[in-house]
Amino acid sequence: MPETFDVIVIGAGPGGYVCAIRAAQLGLRVACVEKRETLGGTCLNIGCIPSKALLHSSEVFEETTHHLAEQGIIVGQVGLDLAKMQVRKGEVVSANVKGVEFLFKKNKVTWLKGEGRIVAPPGRADQETPGVVNVAGTDYAAKSIVIATGSESTPLRGVEVDEKRIVTSTGALELAEVPKSMVVIGGGVIGLELGSVWRRLGAEVTVVEFLDGILPGMDGEVRKQFERLLTKQGFKFRLKSKVTSAVADDTGVTLKVQPAAGGEAEELRADVVLLAIGRRPYVEALGLDAVGVALDERGRVKTDAHFATSIPGIYAIGDAITGAMLAHKAEDEGYALAEMLVGQKPHINYDAIPGVVYTWPEVAAVGATEEALKAAGVAYKVGKFPFTANGRARAMGATDGFVKILADKATDKVLGAHIIGPDAGTLIAEVALAIEFGASAEDVARTSHAHPSLNEAVKEAALAAWDKAVHI
Ligand code: FAD
Ligand code: NAI
């Protein structure tokens, strides 16, 4: 008889490990399968955490090199020890992944090490028959199986990744030298965050983007201002362009770039090319075909509103299913699914999930964009407040950007917020909470905000949406 659990979660990323811990907290016997040497998934090992460690270090480097003198701070020659910076990044990752291992022990979640394959779905003969998952040659049984296997970088025909000269985000986090030049294919979140890291450390960065602007899907005004600010920082953009081939040699990479609509190709040369045109669900090796779990047209596991797949007893969450590919979205789904498995009725408000680009300045959004409200025919009001009029931002010398709040014209209910500016990723949390609680712009505006704080820009934008800002 195989060892039996109530739940087997496959994948220990933010979706899977949170689901496993919450299920164990609720009294279930839980195992989590992970093939990587460490827990934490893409996010902790090769995504959110290492990228933020390098973003932080490179930001400190740039600040020290270029922006201290203007505050009257004189330092000597600033140098770069990239090897040390990379070691620190590794230590940050290590502390985080060990933290998850500690939490597994604390909550009595069993880590099954190796690649998991679903051999048989639960409830075959009768409601009670457990499903079977094979891990490294051993079978384990469970009443419920959760697919939390995440995503991988989307490939591009003609661009062969070697993770040295032609890299995905994984290789871009590991470079041992600062490239003189870097071409980034894709002006999305990864391209702009990791492009920022290497530009700050000294690379000339050119972004080739298929569409007519960067960060598609975000607020139009934010996208335009952000592109202007990044250009001022030294980014070069080739919009409405596509890369048709990239070939590496001993000294660099030769790329062919064409207008998106077709036309004459041009050659570009770069030391390193970062391919960042999106991510796709990773469900290989799970044996989904054999058990009959259905995928949608984009290769995502099909689920209903309760994360149930087409096969009873098998569930899926996180990057492997529809929706934003974000760590906190995966976590929220993992948490909610664990509660559903014990009969509780949690709810996720997908309109209140924030998205943040951790560049300088940061870009953050939650809820609807103006473009989406227009398309849906919703009557709305806009309140805007620039950081130039915020005392704290002035004191910090960080006045680029603004807060924009969208509220329903008739009810004043907050529908969305879009921020570009210092610490936008922290500021957006207040508006996410407002949306979650169904607050009005007036509610946000009448809430006391400490002075002098960056949050006052949110208050003033809410005032502007409701009636009139005071400080502009
Ligand atoms: P994953 O984190 O991908 O975890 C899936 C795990 O399953 C992996 O560890 C994999 O090894 C394992 N696995 C797969 N198949 C099997 C199998 N058959 N058997 C055993 N194990 C298996 N999101 C944010 O919200 N904020 C950020 O700042 C951010 N930064 C990012 C930066 C980069 C460079 C990248 C690439 C991504 C970033 N993301 C960020 C996205 C975030 O990492 C993902 O949304 C998140 O990791 C998804 O979680 P998940 O649990 O669904 O899957
Ligand atoms: P993305 O979807 O954010 O951006 C991809 C960009 O590439 C788009 O602008 C798209 O128009 C462009 N593109 C697509 N095909 C192209 C082509 N052939 N040539 C040129 N451009 C092309 O994807 P990205 O940046 O790879 O990130 C993947 C996921 O990782 C994102 O969905 C995001 O959710 C997640 N992530 C989140 C972060 C955060 O929350 N801070 C940080 C990094 C990643």
Domain boundaries, the chain: 3-152+281-348, 166-277, 354-466
Tell me the CATH number of domain 354-466, given options 3.40.50.10800, 3.40.50.720, 2.30.30.100, 3.30.390.30. 3.30.390.30
Residue 124 confidence (pLDDT): 77
For residue 186, report the distance from its CA to the centre of ligand 1, in Å. 19
Cβ(364)–Cβ(355) under 8 Å?
yes
Q: For residue 173, give the ligand nearest its CA.
A: 1
Residue 163 confidence (pLDDT): 98
- How does DSSP classify residue 91? H
- The Cα–Cα gap between 399 and 359 comes to 15
User: Is 451 a catalytic site residue?
Assistant: yes
Tokens of 375: 């398309």
Q: Which residues line ligand 1 (CB under 6 A)?
A: 10-16, 33-36, 41-43, 47-48, 51, 115-116, 148-151, 169, 190, 282, 285-286, 318-320, 325-328, 330, 358
pTM (2 d.p.): 0.98
Query: Which of 146, 149, 301 maximizes ligand 1 atoms within 8 Å of its Cβ, making it the mutation to test the pocket?
Result: 149
Residue 340: Cβ within 10 Å count: 16
Catalytic residue among 66, 67, 306, 451: 451
- Which segments in the chain show pLDDT lower than 50? none
Which residues are within 8 A (CB) of 137 and not within 5 positions of it... i.e. 6 or more apart? Answer: none
Residue 1 confidence (pLDDT): 84
Q: Which atom of ligand 1 is nearest to the CA of 48?
A: 30
Residue 125 confidence (pLDDT): 72
Percent of the chain exceeding pLDDT 90 equals 99
Q: In this predicted model, what pLDDT tens digit does every residue of 416-425 receive, in sequence order?
A: 999 999 999 9
Find the farthest-apart pair of alpha carbons in the chain and give their distance in angstroms, rounded: 76
Mean pLDDT, the chain, integer: 97
Binding site for FAD: what residues are annotated? 52, 116, 149-151, 319, 325-328
Binding site: what residues are annotated? 52, 116, 149-151, 186-193, 209, 278, 319, 325-328
Look-up: residue for tokens 């989904």? 288
Fold of the CATH domain 3-152+281-348: FAD/NAD(P)-binding domain (3.50.50)
Q: Is 206 left (phi over 0), alpha (psi -120 to 50) or beta?
A: beta
Residue 127 confidence (pLDDT): 72
- Domain 3-152+281-348 and domain 166-277, same fold? Reply is yes
- CATH superfamily ID and name for 166-277: FAD/NAD(P)-binding domain (3.50.50.60)
For residue 5, report the distance from its CA to the centre of ligand 2, in Å. 37
For residue 76, report the distance from its CA to the centre of ligand 2, in Å. 39
Q: In this predicted model, what pLDDT tens digit does every residue of 24-52 receive, in sequence order?
A: 999 999 999 999 999 999 999 999 999 99
- The Cα–Cα gap between 80 and 73 comes to 19
Residue 328: Cβ within 10 Å count: 17
- State CA 14 to chain mean position distance: 11
